[in-house]
A and B are shown apart, each in its own frame.
Chain A
Amino acid sequence: MERNNMKAWLYLLPAILFLGAFLVYPLIDVFIYSFEEGYNSASQTYHGVGLYNYSYVLHDPYFLQAVKNTFILVIFTVPISTGLALLISAGLNSIKKLKELFQTVFFLPYVTNTLAVGLVFMILFKKTPYSDGLMNLILGLFGMGPVDFIDGPYWAKMFVLCFYTVWVVMPFKILILTSALASVKQDYYNAAKIDGTSRLRTFTRITLPMISPSLFYLIITGFIGAFKAYSDAVALFGTNLNAAEMNTIVGYVYDMLYGNSGGYPSYASAAAIILFSIVLTITCINLLISRKHVHYS
């Protein structure tokens, strides 16, 4: 094949321009912003270089609240959604009738607008002067008092946020796990059956090791996704998340950039870099653990 250097770069030019302007340059710039002290976005000047932005962010009570919320969200939603998805995928894989219908239905939340459906969840959980809302009605059947899940106590709000997050992330997990389970060779199961292996043992000794790469992929992406949670919270509690005590780290970044307390790209950058140091650390820990437990064939 003849070399056509010029022509090839010409074909790549649009991609390089877009990626350079909106992905590479911003990545470098965000580090620079985070070290520029007292940056003024109107005059584009700053008066020093240092770690002040980081220290400001780390002492900001709103940021600490956001970190707390994000960690709670991650700790609850990642194990619950992964476990539930595993259970449902195993169920899906063991049936023949209606399998495709169930699969299609389960995938539906993936394509819907997070903001729009969040509004429905808000209505289901909200307690207003006119009505206690559907969820409270159900709680009432079990003899529990009405709770305002949207403007009420912290843990009630956190519960709705976790519930909605799980609802939103399930389709992707079910999809990946179902195809992983379907790709396990039937031979292994047949062999186990001949030996009279119990279901539980078959599951822990055959199924889990065979799907462990997909499972760990989901856990890692699940952690990353949950740390970046934001739109779900907005959908449920509105744009003023600080007032609702439901802000997330990403929400804090955006608020710093624009919004009620906005106009501070330096603080936003520092917060974003702190977030991604956390994500990177957790991902590395995950990878280290996975090395011990994941079987790549």
Chain B
Amino acid sequence: MTRPTDFETIEKKARLRSRSIKTVTYALLAIWAIVVLFPFYWMLLTSVKSYSAYSSEYVPKFYTLAPTFQNYVDAFTTVPLADYFLNTVIFTVATTAMMLVVTVLAAFAFARLDFRGKDLAFTLFLALMMIPSELVIITNFVTITDLELRNTFMGLILPSVTSVFYIYLLRENFAQIPDELYYAAKVDGTSDLKYLTKVMIPICRPTIITITILKVIECWNSYVWPRLITDEEAYFLVSNGIQEIRENGFGRENIPAMMAAVVVISVPLIIIFLIFHKKIMEGVARGGTKG
């Protein structure tokens, strides 16, 4: 004599099972979120601890009851943090602007114009994407040194301008614009350049914004090239500045002031990220890799 199958218990078991799987999933995600966020919390926390409070904590505290902004004042007065910041802004704006002009013009030629050798030229462009920057940086270093452009903005900016990938990305987008628009504009006697600026660029604005943001992030975080090409503090970017602060600034022990500098450097990008996170993630998913 068998008992009839008890559906309720089975269902209950299944529900319990799926709930426990869900709990484990959320726990895993929460743990990784903590691993990601904790360094940011720690740098904020440390940056508002006073130097004496920080140094007297043998066991670091997870909170502070007496936050101070003195470290931020120190960060701007003891080391030329404002200069590093300004340099990076100049470098980022100039590089990104030049990149946009070069990229838009090249993408336009490949997407819209017809000329002999176009396919071959485009294939060669794509092949250039595979050249690792670590190989070409050696000659670029020698070139810039020979041109006596070390410790100048020119030397910093020029080799950082072009990115083949962005030309490719924008060309794909330009190519999606229907030909009819172009012919209509031609009939009306619109020049190519005017068509580009008045029609194509506005239509492809989302892609252009994505490219711009990705380039800004790249510029803001660039370290290797600026380190090679600048040894005068007057031309340091934030990455080199932070390295300089670490090795010679504040004194090795003044970690709260160091953290204040780190916060100041990280904030602009985090703000950009919070505003544009959808666009950034979309752009990166379409084929950007770091470095």
Q: Which residues of A are at the interface with B, using a C-beta cutoff of 8 A?
A: 1-5, 7-9, 11-12, 14-15, 18-19, 21-27, 29-30, 33, 41, 87-88, 91-92, 94-95, 98, 102-117, 119-121, 123-124, 128, 130-134, 137, 167-170, 172, 175-176, 179, 221, 224-225, 228, 230-231, 234, 238-239, 250, 253-254, 257-258, 265, 268-269, 272-273, 275-276, 279
Contacts and interface: CB of A to CB of B under 8 A. Distances in A.
B223 A106 contact: no
B237 to A, nearest CB: 10
B270 to A, nearest CB: 7
Contacts of B82: none
Interface stretch (B72-80, B99-107, B203-211): B99-107
Contacts of B32: 88, 106
Interface stretch (B8-16, B63-71, B115-123): B115-123
A92 to B, nearest CB: 7
Given A3-B114, A112-B221, A131-B58, 16 more contacts: A1-B114, A4-B113, A4-B115, A7-B115, A26-B138, A30-B135, A91-B28, A105-B33, A105-B37, A106-B32, A110-B280, A113-B220, A113-B242, A114-B223, A276-B132, A276-B134
11 contacts: A8-B118, A22-B159, A26-B140, A27-B136, A106-B36, A114-B239, A116-B266, A131-B58, A132-B58, A133-B60, A175-B281
B171 to A, nearest CB: 11
Contacts of A25: 139
Contact of A14 (B39, B55, B102, B140): B102
A127 B220 CA distance: 30
Interface SS, B side: helix
A231 B225 CA distance: 11
Contacts of A3: 114-116
B29 A92 contact: yes
Q: How large is the interface on B (under 10, 10 to 19, 20 to 34, 35 or more residues)?
A: 35 or more
A72 to B, nearest CB: 19
Interface in B236-277: 238-239, 242-243, 246-247, 253, 255, 258-259, 262, 265-266, 269-270, 272-273, 277
B28 A87 contact: yes
Interface in B145-173: 145, 158-159, 161-162, 164, 167
A12 B60 CA distance: 57
Contacts of A221: 289
B224 interface: yes
